Amino acid sequence: MSFVLHPRLMADTAVIVDWTLSRVLLMNDKRFPWIVLVPRRPELHELFDLDDAARTQLTGEISRAGERLRAWSKLRGRGGDKINVGIIGNLVPQLHVHVVSRCKTDAAWPAPVWGHGQPEPYGAVELMRVVGEIRDAL
């Protein structure tokens, strides 16, 4: 079996880049700088479905994504006050990791972003610009 991105993730995100383990996606919601990492292996649901080596790799990728997304957010005046990481998967069972850069003045603060209000999609040009900028920043 090979890796196939869950249709819901495909619909809600744009691809930024593939890393060693994860496909790195931008959530199409301009309220928050919001990345999603999806390990490119089939049949993963929980963090403990990964073997030790892959889990260490994923953690490194989460950490890198968080640190660099924070730097990009600060540069762009879009926050970076706190990085939120979530592995939830109650609706989309494919293992995926949210990495969100939060700002003390953002739409959901101090609540988590998950399930908060309605997403505000980027315009097409803006989406491509942000994907390109974050790709360079990561």
Quote the least distance from Cβ 61 to a copy of itself, whole Å: 11
Q: Which of 37, 12, 32, 46 is nearest to 111 (CA)?
A: 32
Please pick, from the candidates 30, 40, 41, 55, the single residue that binds a copy of itself as defined by CB under 8 A: 55
Alpha-carbon distance 71 to 28, whole Å? 20
- For residue 114, state whether it binds a copy of itself (rule: CB under 8 A): yes
| CA-based torsion, 48, 49, 54, 60: positive or negative | negative
97-102 β-sheet, strand order: 13-18, 22-27, 34-39, 97-102
Q: Which stretch binds a copy of itself (CB under 8 A): 5-13, 23-31, 87-95, 125-133?
A: 87-95
Binding site for a copy of itself (CB under 8 A): 45-48, 50, 52, 55-56, 58-60, 62-64, 66-67, 70, 82-91, 93, 102, 109-112, 114-115
